[in-house]
Amino acid sequence: MKHQSAVAENATHMNGLDVQAAIDTIAAIKADKSLARFQFRARNRWISGGENRSMIRDFYGAGHEDNSRAMTFEFINGEPPVLLGNNEGANPVEFLLHALAGCVTTTFVLHAMARGITIRELSTVLEGDLDLRGLLGLDDTVPPGYEQIHIRMNVKADCTDKDLDDLLAYAQQHSPVCNTVCRPVPVVIERVIT
């Protein structure tokens, strides 16, 4: 969140974000870094075959348990017939692309605001390649996950192409989901009995 001085002092909102709220959040975290600690959560229940459902509502952040959500979000994972399902929902690797698209976009828009750049339009197209032999355990040299993910971003804004390229590189480096994909993040799984 550098370049805050570039934010027009009389702008209450920029790119749909409350500028003063952003400035206040950053000041609070600078004064007490424990406010930056967040824990996000999901609960998932298997239905049958490739269908399962997640419930998402509570999280911890900014020093307290959040209670802002009146309803629980529910999402359905499914699989297409070629992957033994009935298209009950998008599948998990597709939801990962949705998460990645959203995170890069929000990070881009947030840091655009910090730089005083107004975004007019922004859309992305994502493609992720993988080899099913990894999932199936047919070849241990084939990674089960995405080999790579390609994002094409189309953005229109009131700045130069160079400004957009700089901002995009910054957003790529600072997006939490992009960083979780690019960096090896430990996943600890334990079996519990309830």
The 8 Å CB, 24+ separation contacts for 125-128 are 125/151, 125/152, 126/97, 126/100, 126/101, 126/150, 126/151, 126/152, 128/93, 128/96, 128/97
Let me know: does 110 contact 98? Beta carbons within 8 Å: no
Site for a copy of itself in 65-104 (CB under 8 A): 66, 68-69, 73, 75, 77, 79-84, 87, 89-104
Site for a copy of itself in 114-173 (CB under 8 A): 119, 121-138, 142-155, 164-165, 168, 170, 172-173
Instruction: Name which of 9 and 121 has its Cβ closer to a copy of itself.
Output: 121
The Cα 140–Cα 143 span in angstroms is: 7
Instruction: Name which of 10 and 72 has its Cβ closer to a copy of itself.
Output: 72
Closest approach of a copy of itself to the CB of residue 10, in Å: 19
Closest approach of a copy of itself to the CB of residue 6, in Å: 14
144: Cβ–Cβ under 8 A, 6 or more apart, which residues? 130, 134, 135
Position 8 contacts a copy of itself (CB under 8 A) = no
Instruction: Name which of 10 and 67 has its Cβ closer to a copy of itself.
Output: 67
Closest approach of a copy of itself to the CB of residue 9, in Å: 19
